Amino acid sequence: MEVKVVLLTGGSSGIGAATAHLLASNGMKVYCGSRRGTIDQPQEGIVPLQLDVNDSAGTEALVKKIVEAEGRLDAVVCCAGNGIYGPVEGTLEQEVRDQFETTYFGAFKSIQACLPVFRKQGFGRIITVTSVMAVLQLPFQAFYASAKAALLSLSQSLSMELRGTGIQCCSILPGDVATGFTAARRLTKAGADENSPYKERMEKNLKKIEHDELHGMEATVIAGSILKQLKKKNMDVRVVPRFDYKMISLLVRILPVKFVLFMLSSLYN
């Protein structure tokens, strides 16, 4: 079966918007959800919709609406996400919960809403946009990295659960990408504390992170990886776009953790 109808979350900007444009240019119909419910440039084949991934009932209603309109739903691409920044010490529990709410639970709920449809069809593709930070942690982003690692684990466990159903999972792990993500990043209360004992290191670190992101890949690179997976007969389970990030994530897997963390903290502190 070919992927023709896609539900994409987080489509109002960045990677989601670039993906919606590329998929639509390749003949797919993309239901493109976000809280804003807009897309940067209207395009035939893209249906912008208002969707908060934290709203399970709204997500389920949207899936039903798509199936009623199209008679099918072939894939879900979970891009919706954001990041918080600050030290573990002093981060409020609610701030951690909010990070997980959109980045992990939002994707989980989107996937869960689509699974019964995919199962009935005997076909479905699930793509989660996680991050290299799911496998490579950085200081002051512990909760973003944790949420992405949790989502990567979900994707990999699910891919085994779904064996033999015709439904496949793939997680895309982007490195730095120039998108609205940088401006949308929120400092936690402890991250914004002028008297924080981590203040100097946090500021230096954040400058580097923001510089790397703003000079990072074009969102179209990630969109290309997503399209490639959706067109494959057998999707890969985990994809790190671009050669340099692929190599870094490979080294992280084979080198001793202590050495990797030492190298990273020398670069980022």
Say which of 144, 198, 245, 268 is annotated catalytic. Answer: 144
- 16 scored as a contact of ligand NAP (CB under 6 A): yes
48 binds ligand NAP (CB under 6 A): no
- Selected from 53, 135, 152, 158, the binder of ligand NAP by CB under 6 A is 53
As a whole number of angstroms, the distance between CA 177 and CA 15 comes to 8
- 179 binds ligand NAP, rule: CB under 6 A: yes
Q: Residues 250, 203, 218, 231: is their CA dihedral positive or negative?
A: positive
Closest by alpha carbon to 80, among 112, 114, 115, 105?
105
Nearer to ligand NAP, 123 or 219 (CB): 219
Tell whether residue 241 is a contact of ligand NAP (CB under 6 A): no
Which of 41, 12, 5, 1 shows the shortest CA–CA distance to 26? 5
Active site residue 144: yes
Among 153, 180, 220, 264, indicate the residue that binds ligand NAP (CB under 6 A): 180
Decide: is 19 part of the binding site for ligand NAP (CB under 6 A): no
| Choices 92-100, 119-127, 172-180, 241-249 (CB under 6 A): range interacting with ligand NAP | 172-180
Query: Alpha-carbon distance 256 to 220, whole Å?
Result: 33
Interface positions, 87-146, toward ligand NAP (CB under 6 A): 102, 106, 129, 131
> Applying CB under 6 A, which residues contact ligand NAP?
9-16, 34-36, 51-54, 79-82, 102, 106, 129, 131, 174, 176-177, 179-181, 184, 213, 216, 219
